[in-house]
Amino acid sequence: MSTIASRFSLSALRARLAGAADERYARSVPVRDSVNLSRGMPPRLLGFDQALVWVVIALLALGTVMVYSASVAMSDNPRFARYDTTYFLMRHLMSLAIAFLAVVVVVQIPMALWEKMSAWMFVASLVLLVLVLVPGIGTVVNGARRWLPLGIMKFQPSELAKLGIAMYAAGYMVRKMDVKENFLRAVMPMAFAVAITGLLLLAEPDMGAFMVIAAIAMGILFLGGVNGRMFFLITAVLVGAFVMMITFSEWRRERIFAYLNPWDEKYTLGKAYQLSHSLIAFGRGELFGQGLGGSVEKLHYLPEAHTDFLLAVIGEELGFVGVAIVIVGFFWLSRRLFHIGRQAIALDRVFAGLFAQGIGIWTGGQAFINMGVNLGVLPTKGLTLPLMSYGGSAIVMNMIALAIVLRVDIENRQLMRGGRA
């Protein structure tokens, strides 16, 4: 296990990548984009990963179309009778507008400042997670208290917590680099931070967000070079904690049984109702789908069709081909985020590199869980499909996280041109 850890350690990663980094960037950065960075001039917009931006825009565009398609008939439901057919589309577009404005601001902030703010970002997310549990402040929807009303939108603190834990874990590993082989000094403080976050999330309850946050923290610890034995010990403890939560929670236990046998008469109209209708949607889609707007399951059969189960609507309307395109898009995006992180580490920018890889874990991991839930591979969890599902705070925080990674890439390119990050 220690061999595995050393293979992925930062020093080994730097050694393998440093020699190839110059050549890769020399090919990827246009000559016309050279600027005199020694005078402190800001980076030009040509000096960023344009392929990454276009893939994100493509996922956002497809998500917008599918959110409209999935929500267009919701006004026929008495619960949403006061909304018109474009209500969810217009709110989704408003969230995208806020997200793009945030991106323009965030991409200008140097990574050095983010590193200084990393601990405070995590503390701010914890404060909001506490506030959302206060009666009269947090908003309850479907029995869960997860949102803070902000007038134009409801903000979900768990989305900020995902960004906060990625920043905190990356900064933590930089600070603890000299003692990363010591369990008590290197791992226990991080485990305590994750445990506090988990307790607050489970009080909402939001086990799905806790799983993503735990994955981000664990992934960054592993990539940061924590001893392999310690990593697998922590993994065993987390798995044990999840098993105990399921064992001592009847409704979670019923969800597991429903997931294992969704067509059982006992579960089909109960705990497995969403899953069974999601599977029906995929079955109707076949290879090329029923055509855009042709979904039947979105007509009040499949709950949360525009949020958690958007992929099922994509499967029904665009078929296997549409779902495959989405899967390939997220795979490419996650791989690219890891690549940017590896380049940053090769340039001895450990915080930036680990943070970028943490966002890769967040984006890829949450997409994987959402797809697994929709396809019946994983038990039902309340997690949206990043960048695509309806949800204002999720879209905004996803875009902010990607904007910071874009800043990592910009600074990588600056350094490779002989400038200063």
> Which residues does residue 147 pair with via DSSP β-bridges, in sequence order?
139
291-311 mean pLDDT: 91
Q: How is 121-190 classified by DSSP, letter by letter?
A: HHHHHHHHHHHTTSTTTSEEETTEEEEEE-SSSEE-HHHHHHHHHHHHHHHHHHHTGGGTT-HHHHTHHH
Q: Across 181-195, 261-275, 404-418, which has the greatest mean pLDDT?
A: 404-418
pLDDT, mean over the chain: 84
- The residue among 304 and 89 whose pLDDT is bigger is 89
Q: How confident is the model at residue 33 (pLDDT cuts 50, 70, 90)?
A: very low
294-315 mean pLDDT: 92
Q: Across 3-17, 19-33, 351-365, which has the greatest mean pLDDT?
A: 351-365
For tokens 């057919």, what's the residue? 85
Least confident of 215-219, 255-259, 284-288: 255-259
Residue 346 has pLDDT above 60, yes or no: yes
- The residue among 157 and 32 whose pLDDT is bigger is 157
34-61 mean pLDDT: 69
Supply the pLDDT for residue 180.
64
Give the orientation angle of helix 157-175 with respect to helix 350-375, to 10 degrees: 140
Q: How confident is the model at residue 421 (pLDDT cuts 50, 70, 90)?
A: low
Residue 300 has pLDDT above 80, yes or no: yes
Q: How confident is the model at residue 419 (pLDDT cuts 50, 70, 90)?
A: low
Supply the pLDDT for residue 31.
37
Supply the pLDDT for residue 7.
43
Q: How is 294-360 classified by DSSP, letter by letter?
A: --STTTTTSTTTTTTTHHHHHHHHHHHHHHHHHHHHHHHHHHHHHHHHHHHHHTT-HHHHHHHHHHH
Q: How confident is the model at residue 382 (pLDDT cuts 50, 70, 90)?
A: confident
Supply the pLDDT for residue 249.
73
Residue 20 has pLDDT above 70, yes or no: no
Helix (H/G/I), strand (E/B), else coil: 370:
helix
pLDDT over 90, % of the chain = 52
Supply the pLDDT for residue 39.
40
pLDDT, tens only, 131-144: 999 888 888 877 77
Supply the pLDDT for residue 78.
75
pLDDT, tens only, 187-232: 778 888 888 998 899 888 888 899 899 999 989 988 888 767 777 7
pLDDT over 70, % of the chain = 86
Enumerate residues 6+ apart whose C-beta is below 8 A from 70. 295, 298, 305, 306, 310, 313, 390
Torsion of Cα atoms, 192 then 197 then 198 then 201, to 10°: 170
Supply the pLDDT for residue 212.
93
- The residue among 250 and 2 whose pLDDT is bigger is 250
Supply the pLDDT for residue 417.
82
Supply the pLDDT for residue 332.
97
406-417 mean pLDDT: 92
Residue 246 has pLDDT above 80, yes or no: no
**Interatomic CA distance for residues 382 and 375, integer angstroms:** 14
Supply the pLDDT for residue 203.
86
- Whether 253 and 285 have beta carbons less than 8 Å apart is answered as no
